[in-house]
Structure 1
Amino acid sequence: MRKITLLLTMLALCMPPVLSYAADKKPQKTAASKTKASKKVVAQKKTKTKVAKKNEASGRIISTIRSNSAVAVASPSAGVFKDDAAGLKLASSKAMIVNQDSGEILYAKGTDIASPIASLTKLMTAMVVLDARLDMDEKLHVTREDIDTLKGTGSRMPIGAALTRAEMLQLALMASENRAASALGRHYPGGVESFVAAMNAKALQLGMLHSRFADPTGLNSANVSTAEDLVKMVRAAYQYPEIRHVSTSSSYAVPVSNTRAPLQYVNSNVLVRNSDWVIGLSKTGYINEAGRCLVMQAQVGGQPLIIVLLDSFSKNARVGDAQKIRKWIESSTNHRHAS
């Protein structure tokens, strides 16, 4: 019994340190748990912050894509255009409408997409010819070299025909006569190769950084540009009185050897021939790769506009787009004046 009592006494003496040790360890464990929990909260906050930033960036990207993919309108002086822009359904896959004076973009669709431009090329052809200050009364002969072997298109202009450089320029722009454009390139100092080099040099000079030219006619699908670049080309071409005059003539008769009567040509843009449009410059274009194309400078709704329409599926759709634009601009202008 004495031994048992002694043992219990010894145990009693040992218990406080054990309890004290346990008590000391418990707060330490709680502190560690708090630290661990705190770190977890911080990690969760960082994760949420990263996710928020990622979502914010994604939102910006999506917003940018949405603004550039279909219609992007910048119209500070005519806010009504912005409201109506979504309702302007154009058949042309790429289009741009710009106020010629202010540079204000009223409508833009696929403006940075480079694609074949067909006979719109002939505006560049005309500028290069006029820049060279060649004799416009010099007779140029149409030869077999001017036959279209690339697309196989025909021409009313016979081999051996001799026309002045001015007449060739008239037919190339107004009626989109490919043999006339080809002859202009061949009779350039250094021939077609030098002519094409001059076309590309002119494009760079105008800031048409996404454009390339391969021939003076536009039959080659390697002639490519963007709607944005073509606005620059139209703006530059408008500075040439000769281009404004011949591109907006409704018809032209030219005497050609080996024909009984002068050849009658009409403007390839029906809006020039049969409408009440006020057009200061015009050029149409078509090859399979380019679709139906049209560029114009025109007075619409009291303002000078540069209109670029690319890759429409038919002549009627191309003209229809132009008519829609006119109605849209005029109705928006009338609404603004009324308010």
Structure 2
Amino acid sequence: MRWRHLWGAFGVAAMVLAGVGGPSRAPAQTANFHPCNAQPALPICQHGYGRRVAAARWGAAPAPLDPDASAQAPLVTRDPAKEIEKLKSAAIFVKDMDTSDVLFARGEDVVRPIASIVKLMTALVVVDAGLPMDELIAIDASDVDVPSELPSRLAVGARLSRADLLHLALTSSENSAAHALGRTYPGGMEAFVEAMNAQAKALGMEDSRFVEPVGLSNENVSSARDLARLIHAASGRTLIRAFTTDARYSIEGRTFRNTNMLVGRPHWEILASKTGTTREAGDCLVMMVRLGGRNLAMVLLDAQGMSGARFGDAVRLRRVLDSRMAAK
């Protein structure tokens, strides 16, 4: 068993409560899939009528919002141990990317599907290829017909710049935009997937494998430890950093909102982020955040429970980390 170094004297208690140790192989739970659970910022989820329509279409009522995910949730705690007990994510990894200190770890080496977190790798490949961002790309039927439970908001024939597609893929996790980016890569989709895996190897992501650029295939897999490397690399690219931290993006008269509820909130300095959700992957969130003068990679995979549980977990972790900083 490899012990994980946690923060300060609180570390031993945290390890006992969080179950830190060797890789956990517990199977993922079945998520209560509903688009308003996965992406509360979707326009359809903002009004009662839209929520009822979504419930009829997907056959599951949206769960209540995790109170720790709400905008009014406090960011302080007097009981860090209790916060750890409430964590709902199967895999959690928090690392100071400047010092390599691991601040929290649970199930960080388990290899699992990662849903739309894949789009971060899609973005890295596109940006690093130096492709012209002003080039117009037409959405075709293959982009719209990806096997998603959420309908595409882009119409076949729509012409958008590569920058617009990248923006939509990262801000609102638009599947058809990510597919179009892979389809139009030099050499086509096969070459794009090869580039994704080559990039993963270059980053030292030994647990990761990519088969498509959208994130809908369960064969796109990684570990929380690997994803800390990915979000750190992504945060170093200006476009990715800007697009993932936009609260919303408007184009052609439509507004696309960020799927990360924490983006744009006061007292959160988010450097880069991405969400992901499928039935098998559960609700996932990766972020680079600036906290207490430290650049932290925060990875939360397969969060279960109420709507926004992954965001609630991020708040709970923030409370724990802040409490340790205040005690120093």
TM-score bracket for this pair, using the shorter chain length:
0.7 to 0.9
1:147 aligns with 2:76: no
Query: Which residue is equivalent to 2:274?
Result: 283
User: 311, 321, 324: which one pairs with 1:329?
Assistant: 321
How many equivalent residue pairs?
A: 259
Quote the offset at 1:132 in angstroms.
1.0
List aligned pairs for 1:57-206, cutoff 5 A.
64=1, 73-75=4-6, 78-83=7-12, 85=14, 86=17, 87=81, 88-89=84-85, 90-206=87-203
Letter in structure 1 aligned against 2:8: G
1:271 aligns with 2:262: yes
Among all aligned residue pairs of Structure 1 and Structure 2, give the percentage whose two residues are the same amino acid: 44
Query: Which residue is equivalent to 1:297?
Result: 288
Structure 1 moving runs of 4+ over 4 Å: none
Letter in structure 1 aligned against 2:312: G
CA offsets per residue over residues 171-197 of structure 1, 9 Å max, x none? 100110001000100110111111011
Kept in 2, the 8 Å contact 1:292–1:315? The answer is no
User: 308, 320, 323: which one pairs with 1:316?
Assistant: 308
Kept in 1, the 8 Å contact 2:8–2:324? The answer is no
Quote the offset at 1:151 in angstroms.
3.2
Quote the offset at 1:275 in angstroms.
4.2
CA RMSD of the aligned region, Å?
A: 1.4
Considering Cα pairs closer than 8 Å and 6+ residues apart, tell me whether 1 or 2 has the greater RCO. Answer: 2
Give TM-score scaled by structure 2 length.
0.76
User: 198, 218, 223: which one pairs with 1:221?
Assistant: 218
Kept in 1, the 8 Å contact 2:144–2:154? The answer is no
Give TM-score scaled by structure 1 length.
0.74
Other structure's SS at 2:132 match = coil
Kept in 1, the 8 Å contact 2:144–2:155? The answer is no
**Distance 1:149-1:180 versus aligned 2 partners, 3 A rule:** closer
Kept in 2, the 8 Å contact 1:112–1:227? The answer is yes
Q: What stretches of structure 1 of length at least 5 have no aligned partner?
A: 1-63, 256-261
CA distance in 1, matches of 2:13, 2:292: 15
Other structure's SS at 1:101 match = coil
Q: What stretches of structure 2 of length at least 5 have no aligned partner?
A: 18-80
